[in-house]
Amino acid sequence: MIHQALIQFTESNYHTICDQLALADADLAAIIKTHGYPPFWSRPNSFESLVHIILEQQVSLASALSALNKLKERVQELTPARIILLTDEEMRACYVSRQKNSYIKYLAEALLSGQLKLEEFQDLPDDEIRSKLTALKGIGNWTADVYLMFALQRADIFPIGDLAAVNALKRVKQLPAEVTREEMLEITAQWQPHRTIAAMLLWHYYLSSAKVKVSNVIP
């Protein structure tokens, strides 16, 4: 039997899982009824994807994408070997902050030295991947969650540190302002083993219905 931590979702079963969640949860069913299915958000299992997610930390998606595109213009192909050669001034010219510059360089060094091997992630359980990623400077649980969800299509992750997902959860479930993290996690536990897809439904609701500036919803 496959370990639950290795359960993945694909384009072919994505809508089926959405329907299963809708049958079990009327609030998720209402999202699909009102807004349709969420897009199949995904990214490759690559250095570039991790750099992109690091750039998205605490800034708007547009700002992060602008910085990513400037980096790609500068080095053509975003690889650890090429990024490591950029000076601090060149990174600044690509809209990369001093702090994120250090995070990205640290990641590049970890990949070049073999400390981190992204190709091994496909066969590792979620907790082991999270442990390897968060051991690196500048990578916390939010970055690890997003990478597991979008680059590895792991099906049972709820990004409790993501403001948009949490705000959508509060609205959809009509939770009081003082609701605790633990209480929200109890609610999300009902969506196991497909909490990733439930989170995508919440992001879809947030993007479709909320007229606010979105800072950390991953396209």
Same domain, 144 and 58: yes
Separation CA 127–CA 217 (nearest Å): 23
Separation CA 152–CA 78 (nearest Å): 19
Asked whether residue 215 is domain-assigned, the answer is: no
Asked whether residue 106 is domain-assigned, the answer is: yes
Asked whether residue 11 is domain-assigned, the answer is: yes
Q: How confident is the model at residue 3 (pLDDT cuts 50, 70, 90)?
A: very low
Q: What is the mean pLDDT of residues 17-46?
A: 97
Asked whether residue 82 is domain-assigned, the answer is: yes
Q: What is the mean pLDDT of residues 26-32?
A: 98
For the cut 80, the answer to whether the pLDDT of residue 45 exceeds it is: yes
Same domain, 26 and 73: no
Neighbours of 23 (CB within 10 A): 10
For the cut 80, the answer to whether the pLDDT of residue 218 exceeds it is: no
Q: Which of 120, 118, 117, 144 lies closest to 131, judged by CA?
A: 144
Same domain, 107 and 169: no
Amino acid at the residue 104: I
Q: What is the predicted pLDDT for the residue at 59?
A: 87
Q: Which pTM does this prediction carry? A: 0.90
Separation CA 85–CA 105 (nearest Å): 9
Q: How confident is the model at residue 7 (pLDDT cuts 50, 70, 90)?
A: confident
Tokens of 196: 């990733």
Q: What is the predicted pLDDT for the residue at 153?
A: 96
Calculate the alpha carbon distances from 40 to 148, 156, 201, 218 in Å. 14, 15, 10, 11
Same domain, 167 and 103: no
Same domain, 147 and 160: no
Same domain, 126 and 62: yes
For the cut 90, the answer to whether the pLDDT of residue 20 exceeds it is: yes
Asked whether residue 214 is domain-assigned, the answer is: no
Identify the domain containing residue 115 by its residue range.
Answer: 47-151
Separation CA 152–CA 25 (nearest Å): 25
Q: How confident is the model at residue 210 (pLDDT cuts 50, 70, 90)?
A: low
- Domain count of the chain? 2
